Amino acid sequence: MKNLIIPLSVAALLAAVATVGRAEVPVVRIEVQAVMRTQPAEATIEAVRQSVLAAQVPGRVVELAVDAGDAVRKGQVLMRIDAAEAAAAVAGADAGVARAEADLINARAEYERARSLVERKFISQSGLDQARTRYQAAEAQVRAARASRGQAATVQGYTAIVSPLDGLVAARHIERGEMAQPGRMLLTVYDPTAMRALVDLAEQRIAELGGAAALRARVELPDSGRSFDAAGVTVLPAADQRTHTVRVRVDLPAGTRGVLPGSFARVQFYSADQATRVQPVMVPATAVLRRGELTAMYVADGKGGFALRQVRIGQPVGPQGEVEVLAGLAGGETVALDPVQAGVAAQAAKSATAR
């Protein structure tokens, strides 16, 4: 019985059945397809807008309104630090302003009296100059006291920790009752609607894809099985001096949900230049026979049997796990999807011929 061969594309991964002797060997006809050459890379997801909120004043945490995972709004109070010390500083600043203003009133009155006495020749010009100097110094003291009061009021505002954006709380770094010190991390918040993947890519790989201007990407999330066309690709204009790689930011489409910062992603880079499209010969990975250093495939010989042919395999290219054949196979040929079964059939045919 002759082999039944149905021409099909590799992307569809459909097989016909060839009957050799009593063995039915599934086969597939290889067709050359235009495929975009890609460069795979591992990546880490991060939020485009993320803020680590830190304490700016010392004090004990007296209120915690949110926890990790809670949704927050811009301007919402997330926690409070004890404001007793800050309130005392504001009260002291208010007293300083009142004292400075009282001194200014006295200095202004003395200056006015000095001007009147100078006009009537009761005091010298130097006495007027001294009164004017005291008056100007009192004005400066008022300005300084008011500035100190404004600073104390600003510090008092630092006791209320507010969200700088709409988003989620990623982590809480302090407990209620603990002491906050300036610079200590309190909360981490991020916007879950704007995410991106970070990749460290060799400059040579970027050059092979036509340079940074032509770089395009597709982001794959293996854990969830989702994939997205990148909304934008940004190559930072600096290389790491240790690894000699360039940091690349790959933006996910706006509004993408269910992607967590720090999670793993795989990015397939390709070029927007259509000249980079290649037409490789692709075969399903199951059709490849590996025995030690031998990489081969069983190819239909056109006489109802199969012949073992050594091939050279490249990297995975197709969307469903196909591999590229660099040498040893041409488009339009038919290969066995099960090399073990094809080998048995070929050996049986060889033995029958020998008899």
pLDDT in tens, 178-210: 998 989 999 999 999 999 999 999 888 888 788
pLDDT higher than 50, residue 17: no
User: How do residues 215-254 score in pLDDT, each as one tens digit?
Assistant: 889 899 888 888 888 999 999 999 988 988 999 999 999 8
The predicted structure's pLDDT at residue 307: 74
Higher pLDDT, 180 or 314: 180
Render pLDDT for 281-304 as a digit per residue (tens, 0 to 9).
777 777 777 777 777 877 777 676
pLDDT recorded at residue 114: 83
Per mean pLDDT, which of 5-14, 109-118, 242-251 is the most reliable?
242-251
Say whether pLDDT at 7 is over 50. no
| Mean predicted confidence (pLDDT) in 110-115 | 85
Name the most confidently modeled range: 66-80, 222-236, 260-274, 290-304: 66-80
pLDDT at 34: 59
The pLDDT of residue 2? 36
Q: Which residue has the higher pLDDT, 205 or 44?
A: 44
**Dist. CA 51–CA 53, nearest whole Å:** 6
**Domains of the chain by start residue, with CATH:** 16-33+280-354 (2.40.420.20), 35-77+161-278 (2.40.50.100), 84-157 (1.10.287.470)
| pLDDT score of 3 | 37
Using left for φ > 0, alpha for ψ between -120 and 50, and beta otherwise, residue 34 falls in beta
Range name among 114-118, 129-133, 254-258, 336-340 with the lowest pLDDT average: 336-340
d(CA 251, CA 249) in angstroms, rounded, equals 6
Which pLDDT score is estimated for 148? Answer: 86
